[in-house]
């Protein structure tokens, strides 16, 4: 048997009383009619077992809720939910809060219903998280409670929000290629109207401009979506257009996965003939590709932490103080073997 931390239930069993009685004794609850003998038995069991009250449980007794609600739009279909939830959970635990997780499946009426339920539960705050970085119109219910947007923001920044710094990530990915002496660099992007596509490309363009590297428009190709096929098709097009191209900045790791396939078919070695850099650090891909993929890491864990810490601070400040520009967290470079 593994070593167990003694619990209130253990104390109850050893002293032969109910868990409620143990709780009354430990908390010195007034007006409970507990006999001296029972009290002594409980305290003896506490000592004998080395029982210490659960810090979190103590926290819970001192407040009405101590719960934070995390409403997400599509947890099941994305690989990133785990790290967001993990970051939020770790921070909630440190702040002695529990995390209620709800999923709205991108349905605005379900979303409202869920937030309404959380309001009814008097949660300390609500975090509304999207799995893809996007601009949203927040539910009006989020203005009735401390609320933080995670991986999304509203156009006017009327709610605090935390997002990845996609522009800086694109800039730094390009710089990583430039530092390895690449001078003819292509980008395989998606044509989606989303911040990630637009800002990563802006960062790419600016980094080249800042280093005096000329960019032809046909050095950027676009697929419909951030999937492997986009990378496969994109790499084939770029390398047929530019024989001298030695590096590819891929919109994300899945696109890079497809680019790998194309490069193999073209008998190009990675990174000796063509370097590849991805984005997201979606580890199941990036760490399993051959060679392992150098990429920019989305700060999902850190965003989860920031959101919890921020939503708890809001509850202490006035609602009109809420509006602020989005907090942009950097996307660090993860060096592996493809650059």
List contacts with its own copies (CB under 8 A).
1-5, 7-9, 54, 56-57, 60, 67, 75-79, 81-83, 85-86, 89-90, 98-103, 108-109, 112-113, 116-117, 119-121, 137, 139-141, 144, 227-228, 232, 254, 257-258, 261, 264, 282, 284-285, 287-290, 301
> Taking the complex as a whole, how short is the minimal distance between the CB of residue 139 and its own copies, in angstroms?
7
Cβ proximity to its own copies, 75 vs 163, nearer residue? 75
Which are the contacts of 93, defined by CB distance < 8 A and separation ≥ 6?
Answer: 56
Pairing between strand 98-103 and 67-72? parallel
Cβ proximity to its own copies, 204 vs 232, nearer residue? 232
> Taking the complex as a whole, how short is the minimal distance between the CB of residue 328 and its own copies, in angstroms?
22
Nearest to 131 by CA among 87, 85, 75, 199: 75
- Residue 191 and residue 197 in contact, taking contact as beta carbons nearer than 8 Å: yes
> Taking the complex as a whole, how short is the minimal distance between the CB of residue 99 and its own copies, in angstroms?
6
Cβ proximity to its own copies, 32 vs 117, nearer residue? 117
Cβ proximity to its own copies, 182 vs 254, nearer residue? 254
Cβ proximity to its own copies, 241 vs 290, nearer residue? 290
> Taking the complex as a whole, how short is the minimal distance between the CB of residue 205 and its own copies, in angstroms?
27
Cβ proximity to its own copies, 208 vs 289, nearer residue? 289
DSSP label of 236 = H
> Taking the complex as a whole, how short is the minimal distance between the CB of residue 58 and its own copies, in angstroms?
10
Written as six digits, the tokens of 54 are: 């659960």
Residue-by-residue DSSP string for 163-203: EE-HHHHHHHHHHHHHHTT--SEEEEEE--SSHHHHHHHHH
> Taking the complex as a whole, how short is the minimal distance between the CB of residue 91 and its own copies, in angstroms?
12
Cβ proximity to its own copies, 139 vs 174, nearer residue? 139
Pairing between strand 275-277 and 67-72? unpaired
- Residue 323 and residue 161 in contact, taking contact as beta carbons nearer than 8 Å: no
- Residue 322 and residue 158 in contact, taking contact as beta carbons nearer than 8 Å: yes
> Taking the complex as a whole, how short is the minimal distance between the CB of residue 119 and its own copies, in angstroms?
8
The 10 Å CB-count burial string (b at 16+, else e) for 264-287 is eeeebebbeebbbbbbbbbbebbe
- Residue 68 and residue 100 in contact, taking contact as beta carbons nearer than 8 Å: yes
Q: State phi, psi for 68 to the nearest 5 degrees.
A: -115, 135
């Amino acid at each position: 048997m593994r070593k167990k931390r003694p619990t209130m239930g253990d104390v109850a069993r050893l002293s032969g009383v109910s868990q409620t009685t143990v709780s009354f004794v430990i908390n010195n609850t007034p007006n409970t009619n507990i006999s001296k003998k029972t009290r002594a038995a409980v305290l003896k069991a506490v000592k004998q077992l080395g029982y210490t009250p659960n810090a979190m449980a103590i926290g819970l007794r001192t407040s009405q809720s101590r719960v934070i609600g995390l409403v997400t739009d599509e947890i099941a279909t994305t690989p990133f939910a785990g790290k967001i939830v993990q970051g939020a959970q770790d921070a909630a635990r440190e702040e002695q809060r529990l995390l209620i997780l709800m999923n709205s499946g991108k349905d605005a009426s379900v979303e409202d219903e869920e937030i309404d339920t959380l309001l009814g539960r008097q949660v300390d705050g609500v975090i509304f998280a999207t799995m893809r970085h996007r601009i949203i119109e927040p539910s009006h219910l989020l203005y009735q409670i401390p609320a933080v947007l995670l991986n999304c923001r509203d156009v006017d920044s009327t709610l605090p929000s935390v997002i990845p710094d996609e522009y800086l990530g694109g800039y730094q990915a390009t710089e990583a290629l430039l530092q390895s002496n690449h001078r003819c660099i292509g980008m395989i992007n998606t044509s989606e109207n989303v911040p990630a596509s637009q800002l990563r490309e802006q960062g790419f363009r600016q980094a080249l401009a800042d280093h005096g590297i000329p960019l032809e428009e046909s050095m950027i190709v676009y697929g419909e979506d951030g999937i492997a096929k986009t990378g496969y098709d994109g790499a084939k097009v770029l390398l047929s257009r530019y024989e001298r191209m030695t590096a590819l900045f891929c919109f994300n790791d899945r696109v890079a996965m497809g680019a790998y396939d194309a490069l193999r078919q073209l008998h190009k070695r990675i990174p000796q003939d063509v370097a590849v850099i991805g984005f997201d650090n979606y580890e199941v891909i990036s760490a399993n590709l051959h060679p392992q993929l150098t990429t920019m890491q989305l700060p999902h864990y850190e965003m989860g932490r920031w959101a919890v810490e921020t939503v708890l601070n809001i509850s202490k400040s006035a609602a009109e103080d809420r509006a602020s520009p989005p907090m942009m967290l950097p996307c660090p470079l993860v060096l592996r073997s493809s650059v």
